[in-house]
Structure 1
Amino acid sequence: MNELDQKINKYFPGLVVRKDLVKTVKGNAIVPSYVLEYLLGQYCATSDEPTIQTGIETVKEILRKHYVHRNEAGLVRSHIKEKGRYKVIDKISVALNDKADVYEAEFSNLGIKKVLVDSGTVKTHPKLLVSGVWCIADVEYEFTEDKSACPWILSTIKPIQLSHFDFDGYVEARKQFTTNEWIDLLVQSIGFNPEMFSKRSKLTQLIRLIPFCERNYNLIELGPKGTGKSHIYSEFSPHGILISGGEVTVPKLFVNNSTGKIGLVGYWDCVAFDEFAGKQKRVDKALVDIMKNYMANKSFSRGVETLGAEASMAFVGNTQHTVPYMLKHSDLFCELPEKFYDSAFLDRIHFYIPGWEIDIIRGEMFSSSYGFVVDYLAEILRSLRNHDYSDRYKEHFTLSSDISTRDRDGINKTFSGLMKILFPQGGASKEDVEELLRFAIEGRKRVKDQLMRIDSTYSNVRFSYLDSDGQTKSITTLEEEEYSNHYHKTIAEGEDYEISDSQEATLPLPPSEMTTAEPVLKEKHLTFQENQKGLSYDTLLGSYLRGTAAITVTDPYIRLFYQMRNFMEFLETVVKHKAPDEEVSVHLVTTEDEFKGEQQKENFEKIQETARAVGVNFTWEFDGTGTIHARHIVTDHGWKISLDRGLDIFQHYEMNNAFSFANRLQQFRPCKAFEVTFIKYRHGAEEGD
């Protein structure tokens, strides 16, 4: 176990589980993760390896004996008949038979119906009445001559969810973790390896938890297939339900006027709509209208009576086009069905998760470290719905008066949710608060900016805030930074939009400049955001390397394979910008790897050999002092390029996939946050001197 895993087990004994165990025990049992982790939490919530292995076998045996596979339902029914009583794990739903004035249960996999349930059980577990609950139940069989009577008897029933938890103990234990450790613990609890994600990407994953801890929170996530958009809503919590967007009706979601039966919003903390996108989908306009009212006012009408509910709503769907394509031709909501492509409906959404920033899920992204038993975290998040943290930024910051009440509500709810998830104990620093506030504002701004493209009656809003010093700070979305030439096109049609130096650095040179004219080089300082795409060594550095005969690269971190690959791609940029009949000398100053120094030297020798064949004379040296920290590139024609991250500006990507564009082309990789400064250090020198 690493240091964090040891800390997790120390402060949350019996409440955490190794996340790779779920796959180990699942087999062919089609059950949600929270069901499996509930069982693992009973037998494997420990760091003792022998106990874990024994627990795994116990859980596998329980699933083997008691989980009902549909194709074996007949065999299980026979077991119950022959033994008289048998324990099963199945999804059970209950309905009221008003003609007989009794409650009747239906077992999803076992295939038995009309099993009598007493009123006390239904009152204790009301979710049995809506869409069903996974349970461990004792079922008995007693034959009777009465043909109208059901021979199946429900003896005991226990929904698979935590029975109790200590919230105060949770808050106290949180104090023992740093902010970054806590974020990593939560990411591991979701099932992912935090080392594969940037800070921004981790926060994006955690945004998906807000509907479980914030009442009446409306969230949308649109992005490419395979990014895990619906995973949390189907697998994470027994208090959330995932339904297909095409299967929703007013009676199912809100209320059945003929029976008076309340729908899903009355029983679940979070109702998520899967496959929400799709222009051709048929949608009932009455459903959209009642959803608009509910999302704005937390209430819906049942005939003459108005009812309230607390369920949050999450809408997830796939996009068919790239972000620049959508911004150029329409907007970021363009994939939605026509009836939902409605400015009044979309204005009720508090946060838009940019799904295109999230990597397609790969095997190495899953965690084999410790995280909370998801059912425990689900109960914690549910209890946090009773708290309000929305005002915790007001000591340091004030939202711009330009921001409307509805925008303000969206920002406050997102900020409150993030604070509950990350700082339930309080004590967040001003820097932490500002980071979460900026993130919350950006998510609401993404909604509002698209609304202005859809509906001209929406006026432009400056999304900004004031800090305690009276300084105004503006917020931009990441896609606004990346594609500013398309982003603002409908706000002022035909008006030229000024592109900043950092945005210009991500744009390829026009053909005319590449072939006839040298670009104008100037001193400048550029800042790039986390997850920004469209950047390459070529667009960032290429024009400053052209015409040089000697380059010195100082970077202490050219040791690991991916760092070596970065350096090789830098040399490719040098080759691309040098004349075929010229040679360039490249000297690297770095530090020797403590454990794999020989391998490092061997790799440098291979690079040296291949570089010589294309006109690059590569040499290197190891700094013996071990004190170099600055990372920069110096050319012999007068430019010093200071990179605060050196060449390590890209996040993890799939290096072994030959068919991945992120592997082949740098501009398709998300960046880390970094800054670069271009300095003319020999004034008056002409290029080429």
Structure 2
Amino acid sequence: MDELDQKVTPIFDGKVVRKDLLHRIKKGTNVPTFVLEFLLARYCASDEEAEIQAGLEAVLDTLNDNYVRPNEANRAQSVVATKGKHRFIDKVHVNYVEKDRRHWAALENFDSRRVAIAEKFYRDNDRLLQGGLWCEVTIAYNEIEEDDYAFYIEDLRPIQLSRFSFEQYCEGREEFSRNDWMDVILRSVGLEPTRLSQRLKMHFMARLLPLVEPNFNFIELGPRGTGKSYFFSEFSPYSTLISGGQATKATLFYNNQRKKIGLVGFWDTVAFDEVGGIKVKDPDTIQIMKDFMANGRFSRGVEVIADASMAFVGNLDLSVQQVVNSEVYDLFQPLPKEFDLAVMDRFACYLPGWEMPKNSSDFLTNNYGFITDYLAEAFHYQLKHTNRYEEVSKRIRLGKEVEGRDEKGIKKTVSGLLKILHPSSSPSDDEFEEYVSYAVECRRRVKEQMNKRKTDDEFALINLSYISSDGQEKVVYCPESQTASATQEPSRKNIHAGEFEEFKSEKNARQAKASEPTKPALDKSEAEVPVVHADAVVEPKEPQEQHFTIHYGDTGYSYESLIGPYLLGAKKVEVEDPYIRATHQVQNFVRFCEAVLKAPSVRKIVLTTSYDEETDVKQLSERLSELKQSLIEIDVELEVKVNDHMHDREIRVDNGWVIKIGRGLDYYQKPDNWFAIGVNDLALRKCLETKIDIFKS
């Protein structure tokens, strides 16, 4: 025990646990952290090694006897049927089944969706009806054969503290300095503060903000494996994590058919994991989300007010330095297209996930920290019963470029930090200034990315600042973008003028080319250099002009072999092909893009195509959008244009080469069956007859 351990254990006797004990058990089970610590607090509430060892054995025995592993459901059901009843640790959901006109409990690992439950259990524990709760639950066997169920719940106890005193929590906090208290919080979530910088400590505090501040809109995007979703999936029983999938207004906000409020009414925090995978089919969902994120209320026939915070976490696959120095991309790139600027503007805090360390045992603590459930209760109490916003408003002074939503976001971030680090007292001037500076940075990161997306100056006031205690105005910058001119001063291009000038110059070039005397096309037999399969000519040092015919049934003409040698130094490839419509034609274009990506310098692909009355435009748009998204993830932009009057088929590379293919990209024969050679490797696919002209413009 170090000095901090010796201090925290007597002050919070019975409410702290050695975190290395958790790590030792956690690796062998998928039980949530707060469930394991519930058992550790019951059996290992001692500092005597012999008692702790005996307690660990008791915890393991309890897990062996009472925790149902997903692959042991049949054995668990057999135990209940044989013994008559048995106590389990499992997650319990309660669902109302309309055709039965009654409620049924569903146990996740026990693997039964039709367990009878008394009304008192779900009446006293609302969250059983929304998302479920981990409980100690006694399942009994029903001997009455006429009943349509085999099991019923005889007893149920949520795995939470039976009582919590906020006054005692605050009294204990007064015995610690701010830095020591921050270290206690970090150890409570399993981290060793001596291995973290002060900036990283603030980042981890920011991850807790949605759990303590009501209606707090939070986003963190960064690499995989940094623990973004842990705080919302396992740290607190008052938060729920939605892992991708479809988010509906009935699930999230209000179900008009059942007259029931959604997740935002039952949880302190609703978190969205893998935010890029969210599917929003109903545009009303986004509009309701905007209303709720703005002021914690919305209307769906009835006026609903709720305190839930919304957190969005996801993966950022692109290089941060490339993004901040790009005129095209921004740090909101992974968000689904339905998340427009109005949604982004409601984020109070953008946590730079790329600065967070990867999960590693090197950062885990072996010292004492709060029982996770105890700290979660403290945060839950503060979210519901305390308000530090007015206190912050009276003390904070912000610069002239801070606008309405900036001010609100900054104040809510500071308010949340006060609740975590100063639950019943006020920080010093230096501490308060540290919180304000951090909050301004987190909001500026939001503002900078919106400013890059907007074609006018609506969000141009990005130099957010605050007035320090000595009266000086201090502008706060984001470390990743401070020297990036593409982010600090993004270009304001006319969205039409550039396209018109480009179209005009291309048209003039084509007219000039048409007026020149044309060279007679060489037949394959007349070519000075014998033409061999294109696959045999791989990346020539000096590519030459070619004019030849692919004959019916020829093989060896993959996209890569045709265009690969002509992509040296290319940054932009333009494809004009009116027939990218049918499924196989879109698949051909995908394969073409894969071939283009073999040239590492390419950063943009432009497709100009058309469609007719028989084209399923919606399906075509969805397919090209999916391709566009996958290209963005590897830092390549796809631009799609529609021109109903085009007939030319050609590929233009910005290094000057032009590849004209008579049939466009669709010059392959359709396979007789989809399990034949040539289906996947286009070099082995038989071709249709077409002419190829490759020349320098």
TM-score by length of 2: 0.68
1:636-667 CA distance string (max 9 Å, x none) = xxxxxxxxxxxxxxxxxxxxxxxxxxxxxxxx
Match of 1:463 in 2: 464
Shift of 1:138: 0.9
| Aligned match for 1:294, one of 292, 300, 306 | 292
Distance 1:346 1:199 in 2: 28
Match of 1:479 in 2: 480
- Equivalent residues of 1:252, 1:264 under 8 A apart: yes
Distance 1:410 1:19 in 2: 34
- Structure 1 window deviating more from structure 2 (406-415 vs 242-251): it is 242-251
Match of 1:381 in 2: 379
Q: In structure 2, give the amino acid aligned to 1:43.
A: Y
- Equivalent residues of 2:17, 2:368 under 8 A apart: yes
Match of 1:371 in 2: 369
SS at match of 1:192: coil
- Equivalent residues of 2:228, 2:313 under 8 A apart: yes
- Equivalent residues of 1:193, 1:366 under 8 A apart: yes
SS at match of 2:176: coil
Check 1:294–1:31 CA distance in 2 against 1; reply closer, same or farther (3 A cut). same
Shift of 1:39: 1.0
Q: In structure 2, give the amino acid aligned to 1:60.
A: L
Shift of 1:299: 1.8
Check 1:312–1:395 CA distance in 2 against 1; reply closer, same or farther (3 A cut). closer
- Equivalent residues of 1:220, 1:349 under 8 A apart: yes
**Pairing 1:121-160 to 2, within 5 Å after superposition:** 121-146=121-146, 148-160=147-159
1:550-574 CA distance string (max 9 Å, x none) = xxxxxxxxxxxxxxxxxxxxxxxxx
Distance 2:285 2:173 in 1: 42
Check 1:404–1:485 CA distance in 2 against 1; reply closer, same or farther (3 A cut). closer
Across the two proteins, how many residue pairs are aligned to each other?
A: 489
- Equivalent residues of 1:220, 1:353 under 8 A apart: yes
2:336 equivalent to 1:337? yes
Distance 1:106 1:397 in 2: 49
Q: In structure 1, give the amino acid aligned to 2:92.
A: I
CA RMSD of aligned residues (A): 2.0
- Equivalent residues of 1:249, 1:287 under 8 A apart: yes
- Equivalent residues of 2:247, 2:279 under 8 A apart: no
Q: In structure 2, give the amino acid aligned to 1:379.
A: E
Distance 1:150 1:213 in 2: 41
- Equivalent residues of 1:211, 1:219 under 8 A apart: yes
Distance 1:27 1:313 in 2: 29
Shift of 1:382: 0.5
**Pairing 1:208-227 to 2, within 5 Å after superposition:** 208-227=207-226
Match of 1:312 in 2: 309
Match of 1:404 in 2: 403
- Structure 1 window deviating more from structure 2 (41-50 vs 232-241): it is 41-50
Match of 2:418 in 1: 419
Shift of 1:393: 4.4
2:322 equivalent to 1:325? yes
Check 1:116–1:451 CA distance in 2 against 1; reply closer, same or farther (3 A cut). same
- Equivalent residues of 1:220, 1:315 under 8 A apart: yes
Distance 2:34 2:419 in 1: 21
Distance 2:378 2:293 in 1: 24
Shift of 1:25: 2.2
Distance 2:429 2:413 in 1: 17
**Pairing 1:451-530 to 2, within 5 Å after superposition:** 451-455=450-454, 456=456, 457-481=458-482, 483-490=483-490
Distance 2:290 2:40 in 1: 41
Check 1:188–1:120 CA distance in 2 against 1; reply closer, same or farther (3 A cut). same
SS at match of 1:399: coil
Check 1:144–1:444 CA distance in 2 against 1; reply closer, same or farther (3 A cut). same
Shift of 1:314: 0.5
Shift of 1:395: 5.8
Distance 1:144 1:431 in 2: 70
1:258-285 CA distance string (max 9 Å, x none) = 222322111110011001136x966543
Q: In structure 2, give the amino acid aligned to 1:318.
A: N
**Pairing 1:63-78 to 2, within 5 Å after superposition:** 63-78=63-78
Distance 1:264 1:6 in 2: 41
Q: In structure 1, give the amino acid aligned to 2:379.
A: L
SS at match of 1:367: coil
Shift of 1:238: 0.3
- Equivalent residues of 1:212, 1:382 under 8 A apart: yes
- Structure 1 window deviating more from structure 2 (398-407 vs 263-272): it is 398-407
Distance 2:394 2:269 in 1: 31
- Structure ID, larger Rg: 2
Check 1:27–1:65 CA distance in 2 against 1; reply closer, same or farther (3 A cut). farther
Shift of 1:403: 1.6
| Aligned match for 2:283, one of 282, 285, 291 | 285
- Equivalent residues of 1:87, 1:139 under 8 A apart: yes
SS at match of 2:275: coil
Shift of 1:101: 4.1
- Equivalent residues of 1:463, 1:474 under 8 A apart: yes
Match of 1:104 in 2: 104
**Pairing 1:535-574 to 2, within 5 Å after superposition:** none
Distance 1:18 1:358 in 2: 24
Shift of 1:5: 1.1
- Structure 1 window deviating more from structure 2 (483-492 vs 10-19): it is 483-492
Check 1:468–1:26 CA distance in 2 against 1; reply closer, same or farther (3 A cut). closer
Shift of 1:401: 4.0
Q: In structure 2, give the amino acid aligned to 1:9.
A: T
2:78 equivalent to 1:83? no
Check 1:87–1:97 CA distance in 2 against 1; reply closer, same or farther (3 A cut). same
Among the aligned pairs, what percent are the same residue?
A: 40
- Equivalent residues of 1:393, 1:433 under 8 A apart: no
Shift of 1:250: 1.9
Shift of 1:98: 4.3
Distance 1:397 1:135 in 2: 44
Check 1:466–1:85 CA distance in 2 against 1; reply closer, same or farther (3 A cut). same
Distance 1:32 1:453 in 2: 40
Shift of 1:45: 3.0
SS at match of 2:419: helix
Distance 2:470 2:71 in 1: 68
Unaligned runs of 5+ in 1: 495-689
Q: In structure 1, give the amino acid aligned to 2:398.
A: L
Match of 1:446 in 2: 445
TM-score by length of 1: 0.68
